[in-house]
Structure 1
């Protein structure tokens, strides 16, 4: 690949295209999310998700490109069990959320860091949840849909109290909740105390549960209302 314009990348999704080619969705450091046609070659390593590699793609449009070369940078990651399911979830989330052909280097770095941490966390269920929630909120923030955890839509501050309640409304944020509106079965209802814990990353079973519920309420701003298939596996 001497002289080629190489860029760091990961495979988000791979499927057959023709008898001799595959269609691959790449997440690259320099160009963001890309769709490319790859022709298997004995000179290339096997293209697999979660393995960082250097690649060269060609094509002038934001449509389908050609993967001309690939070179593995690291060994096969040690992902198994729930950690593997979490990584599959991240790939599906990125494939749905990322704009095509737009570099999002901060997200690439966050993804790379999360994949590395997932490799050694398969036995720690709480850590897996922490890693997912951090990545989801980072993704929302970097793509312009940050969840303001400590401020309400009306400009008031979220009170750090277990008796203060707030309702999350998609596209608006948190709204103070009157006493007669407080319903423990309402999935959009959050304690002010828990919102402060999430903002400060003070993780407990309670704050992790609330953060998971909040991320599922907020992510449709990026990915639409269709459920993510990988959630059926674990998250």
Structure 2
């Protein structure tokens, strides 16, 4: 009888994880409990953020960062149409309109960079830069995370006044890049870890504020 009571409490705890996770991630569409893709703000010349632009001025670096964000959201508009609720197509089109001047200035700065650094073959260099930038956002196995974050970044960009779209790029580009790495839904990760013990730990200190198992309570792999 005691065993059944503990199992029942374990199932109740599991249900609590699902409910709390859903409430916590109410804005998430493709996950029960969204993985944490967050990252620190960037300048644009850090490894893994954008293609290298040797000798670029700070203005050109920021232009490249903004152009990377635009390219990533463009890819999302094409790849994420399986999830219409994310509005990646509408957000992208609205961003192009709302931030047209800032985006045009960024493209002009990038073009100027290649004219300055590769005067004889600047057009080819620019085309290669653009193509490689687009390709760097192509993903298959991490599509859910990429699309989820792209939807959020689109809304973030639309919340910015004209001339401030680069602030979304600075504060969230690392998150965008992190979303390209395949990550499992945290709800199922925690459920599998708890299932290995045949009973969810009932100690309240074993669960964080998002109702996820803390590291010290997780069973050995």
Q: What TM-score does the superposition give when structure 1 sets the normalisation length? A: 0.28
Comparing both structures, which one devotes a greater share of its residues to strand? 1
**Greater fraction helix:** 2
Q: Which has the higher contact order (CA 8 A, sep 6+)?
A: 2
**Which one has the largest radius of gyration?**
2
TM-score when normalising by structure 2: 0.30
